[in-house]
Structure 1
């Protein structure tokens, strides 16, 4: 019997005016859509009306986040804290962008937050140091080889965890206190 594709929500975490997140998310979603084992939906936090339903339908998540003041955006924190079952025992990957750190400080702040929600974070990330300077006017990375390879590794790990946890959810409910 064929395995249904893993439903992956690619979350655009920034809602600021002039944000770069949609560009990064569109590139990453394009990389993910090249895989037949994934069904990819972009969830833009700026479109609050669709967030809950799209999160609830996902088997796995990839958070596309900038780094704001050495951490992640407040709208992302609100969405994380405003939901529980949506994240429960599901994998979360990260694509980050920013200045010198490439958004990695935001990712490191997100890992313990998701751990509290019983989500499993994927170790491998995609990071763009200097964010906007890494992309051309066409919305694609100027040097696609390195981020493309990082994206495929992240997706390989996310798919393994996602399928494993989806099977576990179907076999038995995840127990919470």
Structure 2
């Protein structure tokens, strides 16, 4: 049985590029066939600023939006966060979504595809990785920065990455699968 990978689109703003990048990555993951892949778009969940009365580690959610979010996240064996960089940080929508849950994230590896200007979102990646460790995720070393992302958007084809970015994504997904297998016993216990 294939492991489950959630590719999470971290930006919710109008005009975002995240869905184009995530759709491309989903195709790469499907071609590699190591994971059953699910595209998860934060826009679809409409999460308000964190509003649960109890700490997420209790998993005693009272709001339907939290229950729906938890049900989408819990079954995954691994995650890839597709995120822009806003002010050297991931978007608040992604930070908020991560904060909603606790145990659902635990003992699962996480990769990051970041995009932006010349830095390719690397500063946001570093901050996101720090938060992921606090939630007991294992952020893998392999990340995929996409510098000058606007130059890789084609009106007809969507996101068209360079060979280096495409190769980096394949490597990241291979490593993510290894980590997902290695951490499986911890998720069972």
Please, what TM-score do these two structures have when normalized by structure 1? 0.90
The RMSD of aligned alpha carbons is 1.2
The reply on whether 1:139 has 2:136 as its aligned counterpart is no
The size of the alignment, in residue pairs, is: 167
1:36-92 Cα distance to aligned partner (Å, 9 max, x none): 221000000001155322211101000000000110011111111110011101100
Q: Which residue in the other structure is 1:92 paired with?
A: 110
| Shift, 1:100, TM fit | 1.2
Q: Distance in 2 between matches of 1:135 and 1:163?
A: 34
Distance in 1 of aligned mates of 2:26 and 2:77:
15
| Kept after mapping to 1: 8 A contact 2:107/2:186 | no
Show the counterpart of 2:176: 158
1:47 aligns to 2:66 (yes or no): no
Aligned match of 1:118: 136
What per-residue deviation string (whole Å, max 9, x for no partner) do you get for residues 11-30 of structure 1? 00000011110000000111
Asked if the contact 2:120–2:148 (Cα under 8 Å) also holds between the matched residues in 1, the reply is yes
Residue number in structure 2 paired with 1:108: 126
2:25 is aligned with 1:7 = no
Aligned partner of 1:78 in structure 2 is 96
Alignment of 1:22 onto 2:19 = yes
In 2, the alpha carbon distance for the partners of 1:168 and 1:74 equals 30
Residues 5-14 or 108-117, more deviating: 108-117
Q: Does 1:31 align with 2:35?
A: no
| Structure 1 residue 135: Cα displacement | 2.6
Q: Larger deviation: 146-155 or 159-168?
A: 159-168
Give the deviation of 1:122 after TM superposition: 0.8
Q: TM-score, normalised by structure 2?
A: 0.84
CA contact (8 A) 2:6 2:80 kept: yes
Bigger shift: residues 33-42 or 6-15 = 33-42
Change (3 A) 1:142 1:156: closer
Which consecutive unaligned segments of at least 5 residues does structure 1 have? none
Listed as ranges, the gaps of 5+ residues in structure 2 are 46-64
Q: Give the conservation status (yes or no) of the 8 Å contact 1:11–1:64.
A: yes
- Secondary structure of 2:98's counterpart equals helix
